[in-house]
Amino acid sequence: MELEELAQRIYQVAHLTGEFVLRSGITTHEYFDKYRFEADPVLLDEIARAMVPLVPSGTEVLAGLEMGGIPVVTALGRHTGLPCAFVRKEAKAYGTARLAEGAEIAGRRVLVVEDVVTSGGQIILSTKELRSLGATITHALCVIDREQTGAGSLAAHDITLLSLLTATNLRPRPSD
């Protein structure tokens, strides 16, 4: 599937209009319901396939952020063969009591994977925690960059944002 066709498919499945408050606190009238494309196994597989070339060389672990990054990282792991870590917003107080479950991250080059980025706030928080656990993180990869403040905020924390699509890519094209 070509990238433009993939963008149209995501737009058809996940684009909503109304009034929505984002995690960043920003109110928007346009929203991409990530769970709609993540819940479609065929579409999610196409998204993951298209993301493979964006994975930086030398990446050793893919780290998906709770909750939306988890299905994306799992699908991406199937296409790259890289092990996955599943990153909680905070370590649970029982069981393994770990922040990152799955693949070991200490001493490894880790790519943070997220579904949609607006301000980059959760990536910044999670990266700080993962780095404190010994992960080397220089990049984050998302399905959709809303083209708000995310890339700049991440850059200020030495994280380069890579995105499959941007809000601009997802805007409907005028009919020819």
Is 116 annotated among the ligand-binding residues? yes
Q: State whether residue 122 is helix, strand or coil.
A: helix
Is 25 annotated among the ligand-binding residues? no
Cα separation, 120 vs 96, whole angstroms = 27
Cα separation, 110 vs 69, whole angstroms = 14
Is 171 annotated among the ligand-binding residues? no
Token pair recorded at residue 8: 């149209």
Cα separation, 40 vs 59, whole angstroms = 27
Q: Which residues contact 3 (CB under 8 A, 6 or more apart)?
A: 50, 164, 165, 169
Cα separation, 171 vs 30, whole angstroms = 10
Question: Which residues are bridge partners to 160 per DSSP?
Answer: 139
Is 23 annotated among the ligand-binding residues? yes
Is 49 annotated among the ligand-binding residues? no
Find the helix packing angle between 3-14 and 41-51, rounded to 10°. 140
Is 121 annotated among the ligand-binding residues? yes
Annotated binding site for orotate: 118, 146
Annotated binding site for 5-phospho-alpha-D-ribose 1-diphosphate: 23, 88-89, 92, 114-122
Annotated binding site: 23, 88-89, 92, 114-122, 146
